[in-house]
Amino acid sequence: MPTISDLRSSYQSGDLTPAEAIRSLAENIDSRDKEIGAYLSYDLDAALAEAAEVDLSLPLGGVPIAIKDAINVKGQPCTCGSKLLDQNYTSPYDAGVISKLRAAGAIPFGRTNMDEFAMGSSTENSALQVTRNPWDTSRIPGGSSGGSAAVIAADEAVAALGSDTGGSIRQPAALSGCVGLKPTYGRVSRYGLVAFASSLDQIGPMTRTVEDAALVLQAIAGHDAHDSTCVKDALPDYSSFVGQDIKGLKVGLPKEYFAEGLDAEVKEVVDAAIKQLESLGAEPVEISLPHTEYAVATYYIIATAEASTNLARFDAVRYGRRAESADNLLDQYRQSRAQGFGEEVKRRIILGTYVLSSGYYDAYYLQAQKVRHLIRKDFTEAFEKVDVIASPVSPTPAFKIGEKSQDPMAMYLADVYTLSTNLAGICGMSVPCGFTQGEDGKKLPVGLQLLGKPFAEGDLLKVGHAYEKACDWQKVV
C-alpha cells in the first residue's frame, strides 16, 4: 500500500485516480480482512461518489482514510465496538476532524474495530469481532485503536484515525508496526468523538510514515468552535519539521521506564534505537519521572470516574439496543445497559461510580487529581532539561489472544509507559524501531515512544523522521 505522499504523486501524474485507489483498497480488504477482522464496515459506493467530486489540488485530495468506530461520520454507523449501538444508530453529523479531513480533500473510508467504548489495550473487548495482528494472527494488535493499526499493517488502509485516552493510539501502533501520534490535549477537536474520559481523550493519526502523520495532523488540528477545550493558537507547518536534523537535541531517558517489568528483547531494541538517535547527533540525558509508580492507579480513578459520567447517557431511550422484556422505565434502563455493555465497560462504570460516590470522592477522586498535578509537574521539570523524552511504548511485544483477557490488572499494566502522557496532557508518538522474535519465529514489532512538551508535535515529527530515515523502516513494512 502506498504512502499518502506516493498516492498524491500518482494522482498528480495521472497514473492513478482516487476511484481506482479506493477500488484497489476495497479489493485488499475483501481478500485479507476475513483473516484480520480490522474493519467493521465500509461503504464503497459513498466513497466512490466522493472520489468523483474530489479536488486533487487540496492537501489530502483523494486520500482514503479509515476511521475508528468511535468517531462520527454522517450517514455511517458508529458502534464503538458495542452491542448497545450495533443495531440502529447512524450518525447524523460529521465529527470536527471529519469536517476538517473533508475540507482537506480526504475521503473517510471504513469503520475500524476497537475495544468497546475505547476501554481496553488489545481490541479483545470489542463486542462485535476479534481483530488479529497482521504480523502474527495468533496475537492481539493492541488497543483500543487496534483496528486502525491493523488496517495499516495489513495493507488495508493508506492512513487511519484513532483516539488515545491512555495510550490507545501509541500502543497499537507499536505492537502492529506503524506510526501513531497522540497530539497535545486541545490541539485536535474532540467534537464528535464518543467520549470515554473527556479530560484525557484525543484524536490522532495512524500512518505508515512520520511524513504522512505530519500531513494528517496538519489537516485535523486547529480550533473548533464546537469544542471549548480546543485551543485557538495558530498552527505551525508540521511538514516543515520533516527533514530537519537533530544535532544537539537533548533526549531524556526516564529511568522509571527502563526498570523492572520491561521485556529484555524490547529493551534491547529500544536501546539500539536510542543509540541510533545518538549517532545522528542527539544527546541522551538520564532523567527521572518520580511519580510514575502512581500513574496506573491515578489513571484508573480519573478515567473510570469520567467514563461513569459519560456513559450515563446510553440508556436506550432515544437510540441503542433496548431490552424487550422490561416492566417499567427503571427496569428498561437496567436491562438495556446490562445486556448492551460488555464486562470491561461495566467494570469501569462500577469503579468510576464508586470513586465519585459520597464518602469516597475525597479519598479517591480528589487525591487522584492531586497526584495528576504531580505527574504533570514531573514532565514540566523534565522538559526544562531536555527537548524530547524517549522510551519504550509497551513493556512487552504483542501478546497472544486470550493471554490476559481474564486478568484485568495485567491488561492495565500494558499501558504503564503511555498513560502518564494523557494525565499530563502532553504530546506523544510511537515510531517503529525494530522487532523481537516471537516464540514461533515470527517477527513482532516494537515501538519507540517520543514525548514532547505541550504543543511541540513538531519536535516529535523532527526526531521521528530523522530516526525513520536512518533506519529505512518503511522499506521493511
Catalytic residue among 99, 121, 122, 144: 144
CA distance 379 to 384: 9
Beta bridge partners, 445, equal 435
Confirm whether 168 is a catalytic residue.
yes
Q: How far apart are CA 32 and CA 214, in angstroms?
A: 28
Strands 427-437 vs 179-182: parallel, antiparallel or unpaired? antiparallel
Residue with cell 481474564: 406
φ, ψ of residue 125 in degrees (nearest 5): -85, 0
Distance separating alpha carbons of residues 16 and 39, to the nearest angstrom = 24
Q: Is 144 a catalytic residue?
A: yes
From the list 437, 436, 462, 459, the residue with the least C-alpha distance to 447 is 436
The closest of 328, 309, 311 to 85, measured between CA atoms, is 311
453 is catalytic: no
Coil, strand or helix: which one is 112? strand
In whole angstroms, give the CA distance from residue 359 to residue 317.
31
Q: Which residue has the cell 491512555?
A: 166
Catalytic residue among 68, 182, 404, 453: 68
Cross-strand pairs, 429: 181, 450
276: left (phi over 0), alpha (psi -120 to 50) or beta: alpha
Which residue is catalytic, options 82, 163, 168, 394? 168
Query: 39-41 and 250-254: which strand pairing?
Result: unpaired
The residues that are catalytic are: 68, 144, 168
